[in-house]
Amino acid sequence: MKTILITGCSSGFGLATARHFLERDWNVIATMRTPRDDVLPAGPNLRVLRLDVTDAASIAAAVAAAGPIDVLVNNAGFGAPAPLELTSAETVRALFDTNTFGTIALTQAVLPGMRGRGAGVIVNVTSSVTYKPLPLVGVYRAAKAAVNAFSESMAAEVAPFGIRVHLVLPGSSGETQFRASAARHLHGVDDPVYGDFMRDALARMQAMTGPGTRAQDVAQAVWRAANDASAPMRIPAGADAVAWAAEAGGA
């Protein structure tokens, strides 16, 4: 029975992915900054571990407790919509610490075990906003694009050791708490320079219609990456992400 470790499992894409793999009889290590026992069904195939991807000691403890990992899913992340000029240095560092540096650090911690066993899959969940420029998400987009870039280089480095690397790129989801979390970091709507632009941009985003991304879309994309050796490097998840990928030529 294979083991998958997933970050950011308290809600959203991580939670849906954990449920998806549990339902298919995988051993699931669901990690959260603040562990909760009430979000996933208890059972012999589930372990919930504390993990803060921005804390080196937390990463070391979680990887040691997890034991052999067949699939790593780097899903933890957050957004903070604002014009670049109004984004504080602290927010920039926080976005990169969680979305980029945390992903790198956890991957580095897991790779030696996979390499030693001659097998493994790393799935990095980024974002479809990397397919095209959008206002207010420049730093978040940059942090996720950085993950795309290092993942593609890493894929060539680890392929000789039997390790595959994939990117899952979700679209916009109203099912998860990501939007609510991003709203808590929203800054600048009352700014005398950018306020009107921000309010107009946010209104246009909220007025967008059409199918978006369901949490289950991401879970299914991660399942494909974990189990299908012929899966592409980049897997858009959700109808909107698939459309954006097609517009970008699948880049």
Gap between the Cα atoms of 178 and 17, Å rounded = 15
SS in 3 state form for the chain?
CCEEEECCCCCHHHHHHHHHHHCCCCEEEEEECCCCCCCCCCCCCEEEEECCCCCHHHHHHHHHHHCCCCEEEECCCCCCCCCHHHCCHHHHHHHHHHHHHHHHHHHHHHHHHHHHHCCEEEEEECCHHHHCCCCCCHHHHHHHHHHHHHHHHHHHHHHHHCEEEEEEEECCCCCCCHHHHHHHCCCCCCCCCCHHHHHHHHHHHHHCCCCCCCHHHHHHHHHHHHHCCCCCCEEEECHHHHHHHHHCCCC
Counting every residue written for the chain, the total comes to 251
Concerning whether 140 is annotated as a catalytic residue, the answer is yes
| Given the residues 140, 194, 223, 244, the one annotated as active site | 140
Closest CA relative to residue 64, chosen from 99, 27, 109: 109
- The catalytic residues are 140
